[in-house]
Amino acid sequence: MLSYNELKKGTIFVLDGEPWKVLEYEFLRMQQRKPVTKCKIVNLVDGKIVERAFHSSESFEEAEIVREEVKYLYTSKNEYWFCKKDDPSKRFTLKEAVLGNAGKFLKANTIVTALKFGELVISVEADIKMDLLVKDAPPSIKGNTAQGGTKKVTLETGAEVDVPLFIDAGDIVRVNTETGLYVERMEKAK
């Protein structure tokens, strides 16, 4: 059992029979009041995000999550299709809301980790940093900024990311899949 002050960022627990994951955590102690934990949590079944305060009298069951490697196949009508790593006939889908930001950076045949709650696949975890090809980038003009500026480019997955002005189409860039931010250029276009 988890107590209210163990609900740190990333903790997965059971609330009303469904798995929830802590996105943000803040411990509050106000004058002459009992301490509370203020959390932003996401339902891993339907992707609904809520803010809740938990008190010292509450405790929670830690969710039993099984991790399994799966392969991302494609996206169709806001649903992401996956299959078992070794058996392409066993397919399943996840909605865009459940995947969150990481879904924008998945490319075909990428191996990711599926999180299962019982027999239900509730989410997938992609690598935190992924290397992706820049498909479309506006031209950069020398001397158009005194400090480092940015421009919006389109990656091979269709995601748009702000990058420094020196990035061109054909470059391979590393992106943080949790935040959606540019990290570094891995390879310059030839």
Q: What is the mean pLDDT of residues 40-53?
A: 85
Q: What is the mean pLDDT of residues 13-21?
A: 88
Place of tokens 């609330």: 15
- Geometric angle at alpha carbon 18, from 12 and 22, rounded to 5°: 30
Per residue, the 3-state secondary structure of 101-126, as one string, reads: HHHHHCCCCCEEEEEEECCEEEEEEC
| pLDDT at residue 62 is higher than 90 | no
Q: Which of 143, 128, 141, 145 is nearest to 168 (CA)?
A: 141
Return the domain boundaries, the chain: 2-55, 65-125, 129-187
65-125 and 129-187 in the same fold: yes
Q: Which of 132, 130, 112 is nearest to 121 (CA)?
A: 112
Number of Cα atoms under 13 Å in the Cβ half of residue 18:
11
The fold for domain 65-125 equals OB fold (Dihydrolipoamide Acetyltransferase, E2P) (2.40.50)
Place of tokens 């250029």: 185
Instruction: For domain 129-187, say whether CATH 3.30.70.360 is its number.
Output: no
Do the beta carbons of residue 162 and residue 180 sit within 8 Å? no
State the Rg of the chain over Cα: 20
pLDDT score of 30: 74
pLDDT digits (tens, 9 = 90+) for 101-148: 788 899 889 999 988 888 888 888 888 899 999 999 888 766 655 566
Architecture of the domain made up of 2-55: Roll (2.30)
DSSP string, 39-99: EEEEETTT--EEEEEEETT-EEEEP-EEEEEEEEEEEETTEEEEEESS-TTSEEEEEHHHH
